Structure 1
Amino acid sequence: MTILISKIETLFLEGSLEAICFATIIYLTRKGTTILPLKDIKDFAERAVNSSLDKITDFERRMKVLEVLTQTDIIYKNIVGLNAVKGLNSEPNIVLDHSREEIDRNLRTLKMKLGAPLADNDTSLYDGLKINLNSIDPSELTWRDPEANMIIADDSVLVKNLGPRQKQFFLKPRENMKCASLSSISSKCNGFINDFNSIGFSDTIRNIVHNKEWKENESKLLECTDRILNTIRGIWNNPAFATSEMRSTQSEGTYVTDIIVPLLRASLEDLPSGAIFLSTAERQSIASKTRRSSSSNEERSIQKNLIGKKPDVMVMTKYRGKVFELTYVESSRVICTKSKKDDDSVKLWRETLDGISFVGNACRPASNQFGIVGIQVAGEELFLNVLIKDASGIPRYFHLDQAEMPFAKNTPWRVEPLVHLLLIFRNTMIVNQNLLMQALEQADARPPRNTQQSPTVTSPLRT
């Protein structure tokens, strides 16, 4: 599927204007002389349109791409008829799909780990997870399913079908990371809305800093909150996002550059645990490239220049000459389709799994504490996620928090959840940096043995 979308996107970006039409898309997505169902082709075309519009600056080309989705049913019937008469002869592409064997291997490993917990207090939880895992038909799993990649997510059926105590125990690391509730923040947010120049969050911060999960004192939390609110003030002054009509015309790149990155910088400035930096150049992930480089010789011969995934933003740190990726961010435009949201969600947990596997090969940070963060921006919604490994090395994926973007002053109810989310993000990064530094110092004396590649299942490749 990814290859087909890439083909269509290449057509949009590099093909002649005359070739940009729905008929060409049908031709590109065919399998030999077999034409795919109209529903599937429409889905591929929609995803390619969404991914390419942000990269097209030429007005005429942009209009041609937008017209593609209006030329579907009649053209499809005509092409099907033409194919029935004379066929669209071509040699079918050979699909190299090793995902099934990788999925089977991951499931065997996961069942083995669940059958022999390394921590005694995991016994009951693992028994429940193993029973639920056995109820899943392995043949129905694909590379897009977390369970096929050895990930147990908090919203999966494996967890939803646990008993109350087992579920509470599974979610304990997530609750520890979420820190205290900002129950008194609403009135302060309303004050911020009413008085554009006042911040006044001192009382709110004072009410929450005594919780042991927060790693900074009142003064530091107040400084961070002040920066976040100043950034929100800047968003409200940005004419490009003043109205829903204006927001809908902005590209993904503008959204990331003008809003997402400033909010992240505000929350991460002046961290107590050392230098950290944001990469916004869509550079390839080191962790992803490392995993792809460990693929089979057959795959490497097809993709000679292996390229890792390219998140929209990465938060990175450097320690003792080594660079580590601690956060991945995937964003859509302000207007987000369901297919884009679903694709980014899958891409994000795959990136975090590669990231924690990369760190694990360099050191052994504390289980159930250290995690790789994934932030998804889907339209006006922000989702904060984290992937950690438990004592047995099983990846657990948690959805920590979510909030909506307060684009305008008439959405005051969105300010409180966003500040809360960003404070949790900052706190998590402080913990993760400290745990990483400690683990690397220990690894200098005792390097980790029996390193393992990421269990991320390889998506199908075409020759």
Structure 2
Amino acid sequence: MSILISKIETLFLEGSLEAICFAIIIYLTRKGTTILPLNDIKGFLECAVNASLEKITDFERKMKVLEVLTQQMLSAELARPSLFCVLLLKVRDAGPEERCGLDTVKGLNVEQEAIPNHSREEIDQNLRALQSKLGAPIADTDISLYSALKTNLISIDHSELTWRDPEANMIIADDSVLVKNLGQRQMQVFLEPRESMKCILPTSITSKCVEFSNNFNRADVSKVLRNVVHNKEWKEKESKLIKRTNHILGVLEGVWNNPAFASSEIRGTQSEGTYVTDIIVPLLRASLEDLPNGGIFLSTAERQSMASKARKSFGPNEERSTHKTPIGKKPDVMVMAKYGGKIFELAYVESSRILCTRSKREDDSVKLWREALDGISFVGVACRPTNNQFGIVGIQVAGEDLYLNILVKDASGIPRYFYVNQVEISFTKNTSWRVEPLIRLLLTLRNIMIVNQSLLIQALEQANTRPPRNATQSPTVIFPSHK
């Protein structure tokens, strides 16, 4: 048993990234031509993953190892037969990742079975069907149009059409040569469905667009909520909170209706990107829209944190020398705001897949407070928001759990990190008891952001006349792999 685990661990630590996949684990644990029971293989795999993750420092390799836990492509077949030939048959139909891995380990080359190409027959069949339909219009208004389209269809060279052409799939597109050669009246009849969908904007909407463009970046300081602090009270009226709640519930309604999250089995197959895009970001947008102190924006492209980059730029000499151009951390999502021409990062989000490993949960937790520390230090260079009030938010999504954290500085400038709340995300109506706690967390997040915005704006105004002195850089300790 220990030998098999050692084999797998060696693959994770020293093997090429292309070779790290579930199919390779099957190959490494076989006994001759016999494949071990699937449960045994999974047990060896989990032990090897846990042991290797403690030793791996390269982020890409660590993610590759974690992916192996979720690769179940061979599970259904391997749970029954025990012959190695089953693996070879499966590799024939496997994706390039598994096949590349086996090629790396064993030099295995399995030729793809030739797939008969019936596309030519299908294209000819579709063209005959389309020609037949054009010869028998149902609506009287289509008689002239169909006649012209049929003539144009007959005139083109059918042998040049491929599966990529709409006509070969019985689609008549508005940019098709069949349509471009129509007469004016026939063209109007063809385009009528499209044209009926277009509406002219009211003058009031046009004026609103012009007003938005003209007033962009013109902050109305008179409307800023001032002297707002945390005092266990909501900063908005109940009617506003109800409106936000309705927006959040609207997002949850979409999640509950989404078949991608209908069961735990299906949810477990979803990627981190799907989780963030379909659930996390919509919930954040719904809770943070229309803030009284001006809008904020969410960066969802995993762009580098400017606060982290600044810390690395002005950090110790050994860190600066590592990269000619320092690269900041890249949170999954950042909540940002722009004041006085400067962009500030007010919150960071780190997310896992819906199935989350313990190491991923722990790594993201550490990553979040490091990002928050860089963030509040970055703000401290520009201004001095009220201590014990202003803070940088850290939101962690670990599996089905959602954590709300915040880092503030006390009167002496010592950072304090707090776990404000923790809830479970509701994916279906069967977990409706999770809804109210989730709403409370998201409205609390909104309340915190309102206070943060107010304190930051006021601090920036004060900094215009009294710039902060002796600004200290982020005390975030360098990650060992950077040395």
Determine the C-alpha separation between the residues in 1 that align with 2:63 and 2:51.
12
What is the one-letter code of the residue matched to 1:302? T
Residue number among 52, 63, 74 corresponding to 1:48 in the alignment: 63
Q: How many Å apart are 1:300 and its aligned residue? A: 2.6
Q: How many Å apart are 1:304 and its aligned residue? A: 2.3
In the alignment, structure 1 segments of 5+ residues that lack a partner are 1-6, 23-36, 68-175, 180-212
CA contact (8 A) 2:19 2:101 kept: no
Equivalence for 2:254 = 234
Q: CA, structure 1 residues 369+237, in 2 after alignment: closer, same or farther (shift >3 Å)?
A: same
In the alignment, structure 2 segments of 5+ residues that lack a partner are 1-11, 26-47, 72-92, 103-228
What is the one-letter code of the residue matched to 1:446? R
Task: Provide Cα deviations, 1:180-236, integer angstroms capped at 9, x if missing partner.
Answer: xxxxxxxxxxxxxxxxxxxxxxxxxxxxxxxxx110001111100000111110100
Q: CA, structure 1 residues 365+38, in 2 after alignment: closer, same or farther (shift >3 Å)?
A: closer
Residue number among 379, 388, 391 corresponding to 1:368 in the alignment: 388
Determine the C-alpha separation between the residues in 1 that align with 2:392 and 2:472.
17
| Structure 1 position 60 matched with structure 2 position 95 | yes
Equivalence for 1:279 = 299
Q: Secondary structure at the match of 2:422?
A: strand
Equivalence for 2:181 = none
Q: What is the TM-score with the length of structure 2 in the denominator?
A: 0.57
Equivalence for 1:74 = none
Equivalence for 1:348 = 368
Q: Secondary structure at the match of 1:327?
A: strand
Task: Provide Cα deviations, 1:78-109, integer angstroms capped at 9, x if missing partner.
Answer: xxxxxxxxxxxxxxxxxxxxxxxxxxxxxxxx
What is the one-letter code of the residue matched to 1:445? T
Percent of aligned pairs with the same amino acid: 63
Q: How many Å apart are 1:249 and its aligned residue? A: 0.4
Q: CA, structure 1 residues 38+340, in 2 after alignment: closer, same or farther (shift >3 Å)?
A: closer
| Structure 1 position 387 matched with structure 2 position 387 | no
Q: CA, structure 1 residues 415+177, in 2 after alignment: closer, same or farther (shift >3 Å)?
A: farther
CA contact (8 A) 1:49 1:65 kept: no
| Structure 1 position 402 matched with structure 2 position 413 | no
Task: Provide Cα deviations, 1:403-455, integer angstroms capped at 9, x if missing partner.
Answer: 10110001111001100000000000000000000000000111101011001
CA contact (8 A) 2:405 2:417 kept: yes
Q: CA, structure 1 residues 245+457, in 2 after alignment: closer, same or farther (shift >3 Å)?
A: same
Q: How many Å apart are 1:316 and its aligned residue? A: 0.1
Equivalence for 1:337 = 357
Q: How many Å apart are 1:295 and its aligned residue? A: 2.4
Determine the C-alpha separation between the residues in 2 that align with 1:244 and 1:346.
27
CA contact (8 A) 1:9 1:49 kept: no
Q: Secondary structure at the match of 1:302?
A: coil
What is the one-letter code of the residue matched to 2:238? E
Q: How many Å apart are 1:348 and its aligned residue? A: 0.2
Equivalence for 2:144 = none
Residue number among 447, 456, 460 corresponding to 2:476 in the alignment: 456
CA contact (8 A) 1:47 1:339 kept: no
Q: CA, structure 1 residues 178+21, in 2 after alignment: closer, same or farther (shift >3 Å)?
A: farther
Structure showing greater Rg: 2
Q: Secondary structure at the match of 1:228?
A: helix
How big is the alpha-carbon RMSD for the aligned residues of Structure 1 and Structure 2?
A: 3.4
Q: What is the TM-score with the length of structure 1 in the denominator?
A: 0.60
Q: How many Å apart are 1:40 and its aligned residue? A: 3.7
What is the one-letter code of the residue matched to 1:347? K
Determine the C-alpha separation between the residues in 1 that align with 2:481 and 2:305.
19
Determine the C-alpha separation between the residues in 2 that align with 1:358 and 1:9.
39
| Structure 1 position 312 matched with structure 2 position 335 | no
What is the one-letter code of the residue matched to 2:256? W
Q: Secondary structure at the match of 2:334?
A: strand
